[in-house]
């Protein structure tokens, strides 16, 4: 099955700085790569996603890049704010109804 | 938030007892999923459903069964709970099978003593 590795497991940044979270996947059939944010005690929620025919996607302060050749994708958050503090999960989908998640990155934004 | 509720939200049980978690949706989405969340493992798919009475296994299905008799309800059953099944269980729904957003429930925290 698909194996998604996510780094780092924890990340602390100063408010206003950028944060980057990186993921690699193993199955070349994966063609959909979402990112979920989970605040403490809450449910995961989709923040951005990218498909394999696109190299980069941006939504305000959040961007995701995908390198299919290297099988890695990254989440970039610019101008971080305290409300960005949460656990972020990357995921990859090699086939219908199967989404494989990374182990998560706990982001702390220090005011 | 999408109309998806889980029950119970918290449960403590003993090893060897049966446990059923319920997921109820009001969105009429075709696809429903059960995930478990554990530290160091992220979210792992247990079972999913692609229609009434249509279900399939995920990556960690051993020790779990599911049923979907109505579009709106998806049940997860632990026939004989073990301590390794102590976890937070999330139900999710989706309109599409590929490349679609998962809407998660609030989670059910299960402790098996």
User: How large is the average pLDDT for residues A7-32?
Assistant: 97
Interface test mutation site (partner A, options B35, B98, B101, B108, max chain A beta carbons within 10 A): B98
CB burial string A52-64: b at 16+ within 10 A, e below: beeeeeeeeebbb
Q: Does A11 have pLDDT greater than 70?
A: yes
User: How large is the average pLDDT for residues A31-39?
Assistant: 97
| Close Cβ partners of A65 (under 8 Å, ≥ 6 residues apart) | A50, A55, A56, A73, A74, A76
Across the interface, whether the CB atoms of A44 and B43 are under 8 A apart is answered: yes
Residue B98 has a pLDDT of 84
Residue B113 has which token pair?
């003593």
Q: Does B1 have pLDDT greater than 70?
A: no
Sign of the C-alpha dihedral computed for residues B78, B84, B86 and B91 taken in this order: negative
Read off the pLDDT of residues B18-69 as tens digits, 9 standing for 90 and up: 999 999 999 999 999 999 999 989 999 999 999 999 999 999 999 999 999 9
Residue A31 has a pLDDT of 94
Q: State the smallest CA–CA distance between residue A111 and chain B in angstroms.
A: 26
Across the interface, whether the CB atoms of B40 and A101 are under 8 A apart is answered: no
**Is A101 in the B-facing interface, judged by CB distances under 8 Å?**
yes
Q: Does B2 have pLDDT greater than 80?
A: no
Q: How far apart are CA A109 and CA A100, in angstroms?
A: 27
Q: What is the mean pLDDT of chain B?
A: 95
Across the interface, whether the CB atoms of B99 and A31 are under 8 A apart is answered: yes
Please check whether residue B81 is in contact with residue B18, taking contact to mean a CB–CB distance below 8 angstroms.
Answer: yes
Residue B103 has a pLDDT of 96
Q: State the smallest CA–CA distance between residue A37 and chain B in angstroms.
A: 12
Chain B residues near any Cβ of chain A (below 8 Å): 31, 33, 40-45, 48, 50, 56, 58-59, 90, 97-99, 101-102, 104-107
Please check whether residue A75 is in contact with residue A61, taking contact to mean a CB–CB distance below 8 angstroms.
Answer: no
Residue A96 has a pLDDT of 86
User: How large is the average pLDDT for residues A77-89?
Assistant: 98
Cis status of the peptide bond prior to A8, with omega within 30 of 0: yes
Q: How far apart are CA A87 and CA A101, in angstroms?
A: 12
Report the candidate in A43, A92, A86 with the shortest Cα–Cα distance to residue B91: A43
Confidence of residue A97 (pLDDT cuts 50, 70, 90): confident
Residue B89 has a pLDDT of 98
User: How large is the average pLDDT for residues A2-25?
Assistant: 97
């Amino acid at each position: 099955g698909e194996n998604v590795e996510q780094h780092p497991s924890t990340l602390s940044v100063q408010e206003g700085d950028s944060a980057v979270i990186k993921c690699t996947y193993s199955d070349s059939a994966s063609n959909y790569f979402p990112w979920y944010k989970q605040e403490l005690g809450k449910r995961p929620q989709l923040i951005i996603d990218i498909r394999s025919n696109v190299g980069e996607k941006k939504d305000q302060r959040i961007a995701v890049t995908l390198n299919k050749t290297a099988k890695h994708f990254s989440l970039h958050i610019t101008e971080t704010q305290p409300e960005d503090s949460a656990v972020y999960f990357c995921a990859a989908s090699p086939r219908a109804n199967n989404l494989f998640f990374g182990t998560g990155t706990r982001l702390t934004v220090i005011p | 938030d999408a109309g998806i509720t889980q029950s119970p939200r918290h449960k403590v049980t003993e090893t060897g007892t049966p446990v059923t978690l319920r997921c109820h949706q009001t969105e009429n989405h075709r696809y429903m999923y059960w995930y478990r969340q554990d530290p160091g493992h992220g979210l792992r798919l247990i079972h999913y459903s692609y229609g009434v009475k249509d279900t399939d296994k995920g990556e960690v299905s051993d020790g779990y069964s599911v049923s979907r008799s109505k579009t709106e309800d998806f049940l997860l059953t632990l026939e004989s709970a073990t301590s390794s099944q102590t976890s937070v269980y999330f139900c999710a729904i989706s309109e599409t099978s590929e490349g679609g957003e998962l809407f998660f429930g609030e989670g059910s925290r299960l402790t098996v003593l």
